A and B are shown apart, each in its own frame.
Chain A
């Protein structure tokens, strides 16, 4: 729909003519590299070429605020483009461990390096956040990161709304910035109500203030250290016609919940679109419900019992091996939630989609968790 939704996937499966010739050549090369794939050797020279694992190279890193940076990334060959407002999941090795987080794409069609196919994400370091801290403090230009194709529904509808309200908090400005940079020329009436603790914490402050000065958007900055958190009751005063506006909101979970309630009460839920960065992760607990996603079965596990044993007692056919944590015959992907290693007491937490492989024979549930089986 929008400008940047171009597709560049090479059609490898093309069945005829040149495709057949290429398929044969590929098979021959594969026969020469088995059990590895040709791309495993190509990776030695160009990790961005492979089509099976999307990666990107960091082109530049620039500071937005004291604790936020914009990272410009050149995605690998198989990148399929994005729609403004969407996010990409990015994987980095923190202390040797690959961790994945989703970040909104903030780059516009012409700004920065975007003209030569780069994308940008903007990251604010969260205290205790392993990935955000790593991206802000340790990432260097030239490094290779793992990527996933852009995803997300926080995008403008085909027919652009005539009146819009953008409600953002903190780094919740990021998907909205992506949208504004791409679409601002085609939007007539935009109110942006943005909350940040202090003026200097406002990400993209200069660009937003310029847009406002040029009359492209109506900008209301709210500095919560001084004015306190936005209360939905204030909306009538701040944006009197909010009921008529197609609203896009992104920010902390608490803020979004309050907005959703408010819009529902006004019977306007259809007009509100929200984007959550991460669902609030439950603190690891002691024991919990294990949900086997493929079987759609719930099994209660106490905190001292291996998930393998609990599953088997409940009649689930589990893969198993040595039952003492050495053979890795029992590993299953932890889709979401936390498990505790019964040997070390250490917990492993997965955000949705992570699919961290855990050994069920030495892992107990640490709160509710989803396991793929």
Chain B
């Protein structure tokens, strides 16, 4: 059925058709519960986050106007970095997912939102929401698997180009927002002649305009305003540092979502005729969580609940922590891996994979792999329940 079948232990072999459909129904119920409860408190949450972020950004930028004084420089830089992280992750990413569209507030809506990032919102929404979330971890369909420049799965064919991928990955991390813009523009596809020229020209114009506006703001306008106090150079450095910090952070978080060991990939043919249950299953075992503090969750835009996010990309992010125990319980009962680890562990694991798979498979296999996971034993599988439960069991 999937690329999984080639592995020694197919993690879904024990599930019958009925099990998968029952799994789908249980997850539908989890979703329905959130929709039922969603209301004023959720709206208040996102408005508060937006207000906090904008206040923090204004305060930090105001401090940086006087950044010739060291303490203003340090605090302003930290504040601006945190503000940019919040803006991209908990706000931008999630608003553009349509998580808050139900509020019918035109100011907080996926169709009107633009974010503090080099990639224009509409291009990002296409490559992220439409391609990545629909074809998650499907080799050849989901370009997020290695972003087209890296090999992050044994089933991706090796070429000598990948020897350099630990370096590419680091460079990509530093310039991540431009990497995303190039990726959303499908620059790679264009260079090999597989992208419509007119579409590319139109999109490229959008990207250039967006980058120009972003660069002007961070590296021209704000430093120029700080000239008055002789803080222009430091303001420039602060803006660069904030963008760099945000880039490194978002890159790390996003690597943790699908690259760590334990995450499964799928072949193109495996998703033909996929049911809702199959889709849920693919999302669950194709994603990895990060556990940690509440502040960490917010800073990752709750993408630390990557599994929950991939199951329900349009539910408000503040609800993921609440449904995580339910999803975990479902995983246990159905005998599915619920991959989760601390931030340093997951970042390390993802980096290990990038380094290991820069080598061809036979050499990669000689590098010490992480400890083999013990197969998960299902605790309560519908198809193994007493006969009365499912009379249709074959």
Beyond A93-B43, A93-B103, A322-B129, is A327–B217 a contact (Cβ under 8 Å)?
Answer: no
Instruction: Check if B269 is an interface residue, CB within 8 A of chain A.
Output: no
The 8 closest A-B pairs by CB, nearest first: A96-B43, A328-B98, A327-B129, A35-B114, A98-B104, A322-B134, A95-B39, A327-B130
- Distance (whole angstroms) from the CB of B58 to the closest CB of chain A: 6
Cross-chain contact A96 with B40 (CB below 8 angstroms): yes
Instruction: Check if B35 is an interface residue, CB within 8 A of chain A.
Output: yes
Instruction: Give the CA-CA distance A340 to B216 in the complex, in Å.
Output: 45
From A53, A97, A321, B129 is in contact (CB under 8 Å) with: A321
Bits for B219-233, please: 1 = Cβ < 8 Å to A, else 0: 011100100000000
From B51, B103, B225, A96 is in contact (CB under 8 Å) with: B103
The number of chain B residues with a CB under 8 A from chain A is: 47
Cross-chain contact B102 with A35 (CB below 8 angstroms): no
Q: Which residue of A lies closest to B106 (CB)?
A: A53
Cross-chain contact A96 with B214 (CB below 8 angstroms): no
- Distance (whole angstroms) from the CB of B273 to the closest CB of chain A: 14
> Mind listing 25 A-B residue pairs with CB under 8 Å?
A28-B221, A31-B213, A31-B220, A32-B217, A34-B216, A35-B116, A93-B43, A93-B103, A96-B40, A96-B44, A96-B103, A97-B39, A97-B43, A97-B104, A321-B126, A324-B134, A326-B133, A326-B313, A327-B125, A327-B133, A327-B134, A328-B110, A328-B111, A329-B129, A331-B98
Cross-chain contact B225 with A32 (CB below 8 angstroms): yes
Instruction: Check if B115 is an interface residue, CB within 8 A of chain A.
Output: yes
Given A36-B114, A97-B43, A322-B130; 12 other pairs, CB 8 A cutoff: A34-B217, A93-B105, A95-B40, A96-B41, A96-B102, A321-B126, A321-B130, A321-B134, A322-B133, A325-B314, A328-B110, A357-B104
Q: Which residue of A lies closest to B316 (CB)?
A: A96
Cross-chain contact B217 with A31 (CB below 8 angstroms): yes
Which residues in A have some Cβ–Cβ distance to B below 8 Å?
28, 31-36, 40-41, 44, 53, 93, 95-99, 321-322, 324-329, 331, 343-344, 346, 356-357
Cross-chain contact B40 with A356 (CB below 8 angstroms): no
Instruction: Give the CA-CA distance A322 to B116 in the complex, in Å.
Output: 25
Cross-chain contact A96 with B35 (CB below 8 angstroms): no
- Distance (whole angstroms) from the CB of A250 to the closest CB of chain B: 28
Dominant secondary structure at the B interface: helix
Cross-chain contact A328 with B216 (CB below 8 angstroms): no
Bits for B120-153, please: 1 = Cβ < 8 Å to A, else 0: 0000011001100110000000000000000000
Instruction: Give the CA-CA distance A33 to B221 in the complex, in Å.
Output: 10
Contacts of B97 in A (CB 8 A): 328
Beyond A324-B134, A327-B125, is A34–B111 a contact (Cβ under 8 Å)?
Answer: no
Cross-chain contact B125 with A328 (CB below 8 angstroms): yes
Instruction: Check if B206 is an interface residue, CB within 8 A of chain A.
Output: no
Instruction: Give the CA-CA distance A99 to B39 in the complex, in Å.
Output: 13
Instruction: Check if B42 is an interface residue, CB within 8 A of chain A.
Output: yes
Contacts of B200 in A (CB 8 A): none
- Distance (whole angstroms) from the CB of A300 to the closest CB of chain B: 27
Instruction: Check if B246 is an interface residue, CB within 8 A of chain A.
Output: no
Q: Which residue of B lies closest to A330 (CB)?
A: B130
Instruction: Give the CA-CA distance A41 to B144 in the complex, in Å.
Output: 34
Cross-chain contact A357 with B54 (CB below 8 angstroms): no
Contacts of B116 in A (CB 8 A): 35
Cross-chain contact B130 with A329 (CB below 8 angstroms): yes
- Distance (whole angstroms) from the CB of A341 to the closest CB of chain B: 9
Contacts of B35 in A (CB 8 A): 344, 346
Instruction: Give the CA-CA distance A99 to B115 in the complex, in Å.
Output: 26
Cross-chain contact B51 with A44 (CB below 8 angstroms): yes
Q: Which residue of B lies closest to A40 (CB)?
A: B54
Instruction: Check if B101 is an interface residue, CB within 8 A of chain A.
Output: yes
Cross-chain contact B125 with A329 (CB below 8 angstroms): yes
Beyond A324-B279, A328-B314, A329-B126, is A356–B214 a contact (Cβ under 8 Å)?
Answer: no
Cross-chain contact A326 with B103 (CB below 8 angstroms): no
Instruction: Give the CA-CA distance A176 to B237 in the complex, in Å.
Output: 64
Instruction: Give the CA-CA distance A53 to B105 in the complex, in Å.
Output: 11
- Distance (whole angstroms) from the CB of B46 to the closest CB of chain A: 9
Contacts of B111 in A (CB 8 A): 328, 331, 357
Q: Which residue of A lies closest to B134 (CB)?
A: A322
Contacts of B133 in A (CB 8 A): 322, 326-327
Q: Which of B263-317 contact A (CB under 8 A)?
A: 279, 313-314
Contacts of B217 in A (CB 8 A): 31-34
Cross-chain contact A97 with B103 (CB below 8 angstroms): yes
Q: Which residue of B lies closest to A346 (CB)?
A: B35
Instruction: Check if B107 is an interface residue, CB within 8 A of chain A.
Output: yes
Instruction: Check if B55 is an interface residue, CB within 8 A of chain A.
Output: yes
Cross-chain contact B129 with A96 (CB below 8 angstroms): no
From B58, B106, B213, A41 is in contact (CB under 8 Å) with: B58
Instruction: Give the CA-CA distance A40 to B55 in the complex, in Å.
Output: 11
Cross-chain contact A98 with B105 (CB below 8 angstroms): yes
Instruction: Give the CA-CA distance A322 to B129 in the complex, in Å.
Output: 8
Instruction: Check if B38 is an interface residue, CB within 8 A of chain A.
Output: yes
From B32, B107, B109, A357 is in contact (CB under 8 Å) with: B109
Instruction: Give the CA-CA distance A328 to B134 in the complex, in Å.
Output: 12
- Distance (whole angstroms) from the CB of B274 to the closest CB of chain A: 10
Contacts of B98 in A (CB 8 A): 327-328, 331
From A36, A96, A321, A327, B39 is in contact (CB under 8 Å) with: A96
Instruction: Give the CA-CA distance A357 to B125 in the complex, in Å.
Output: 17
Contacts of B222 in A (CB 8 A): 32
Contacts of A98 in B (CB 8 A): 103-105
- Distance (whole angstroms) from the CB of B252 to the closest CB of chain A: 24
Instruction: Give the CA-CA distance A75 to B55 in the complex, in Å.
Output: 25
Output the residue of B110, B210, B220 with the most chain A CB within 10 A.
B110
Cross-chain contact A31 with B103 (CB below 8 angstroms): no
Instruction: Give the CA-CA distance A344 to B54 in the complex, in Å.
Output: 35
- Distance (whole angstroms) from the CB of A98 to the closest CB of chain B: 4
Contacts of B104 in A (CB 8 A): 97-99, 356-357
Contacts of A35 in B (CB 8 A): 114-116, 210, 213-214
- Distance (whole angstroms) from the CB of A206 to the closest CB of chain B: 36
Q: Which of B133-190 contact A (CB under 8 A)?
A: 133-134
Instruction: Give the CA-CA distance A331 to B111 in the complex, in Å.
Output: 8
Q: Which residue of A lies closest to B109 (CB)?
A: A357
Beyond A96-B43, A326-B313, is A31–B102 a contact (Cβ under 8 Å)?
Answer: no
Beyond A44-B55, A329-B130, is A53–B42 a contact (Cβ under 8 Å)?
Answer: no
